[in-house]
Amino acid sequence: MAKKVIGKLKLQVKAGQANPSPPVGPALGQRGINIMEFCKAFNAKTQDMEPGAPCPTVITYYQDKSFSMDIKTPPASYFLKKAAGLKPVGKRNRPKGSEKPGREVAGSVTVAQVREIAEAKMKDLNASDVEGAMQIILGSARSMGIEVKG
């Protein structure tokens, strides 16, 4: 008989850096999921990714306290900021896009870099081919104030 699903939980955890401190520990603990087991499994699955890359993760947990996880690729904004070479700013020391997208340019990327990002994100995007995926990434770049140079 199949396991009975109790629920799903979405978290964004940095690759290779899952630990029981907040926000991961409390989110898992209140649902009865073994925190250390999750941290070890997540870190093992993300060890080949770039350390510190934010990974959206969907955790499905079952009645017998077991779980399964689906780790997605980092957000397009993460790849775009990295490709544009944006420097960390602000209180949290993270790179930011433009304050006024469409009027101010925060940085620029090439079409080749957009294609590379689209190919990396292809499995998580709702696109049938790389050209469609590139359009999605171009939209993200436009909304962040990053211009694309031919």
* pLDDT tens-place string over residues 76-120: 888 888 888 777 665 566 666 666 776 777 778 888 888 888 888
Please report the pLDDT score of residue 1 as a whole number.
Answer: 55
For the question of whether the overall pTM of this predicted structure is more than 0.95, the answer is: no
Pick the CATH number of 5-71 from 3.40.50.720, 3.90.480.20, 3.40.1160.10, 3.30.1550.10: 3.30.1550.10
Evaluated on CA atoms 35, 66, 13, 43, the torsion sign reads: positive
pLDDT at 140 over 60: yes
Residue 74: partners with Cβ closer than 8 Å, 6 or more residues away: 15, 49, 50, 53, 54, 55, 56
CA distance 22 to 61: 19
Count Cβ atoms within 10 A of the Cβ of residue 100 and give its class: 0-12 exposed, 13-18 middle, 19 or more buried: exposed
Please report the pLDDT score of residue 89 as a whole number.
Answer: 61
Residues of the chain with CATH 3.30.1550.10: 5-71
Please report the pLDDT score of residue 58 as a whole number.
Answer: 92
The β-bridge relationship of strands 107-110 and 5-14 is unpaired
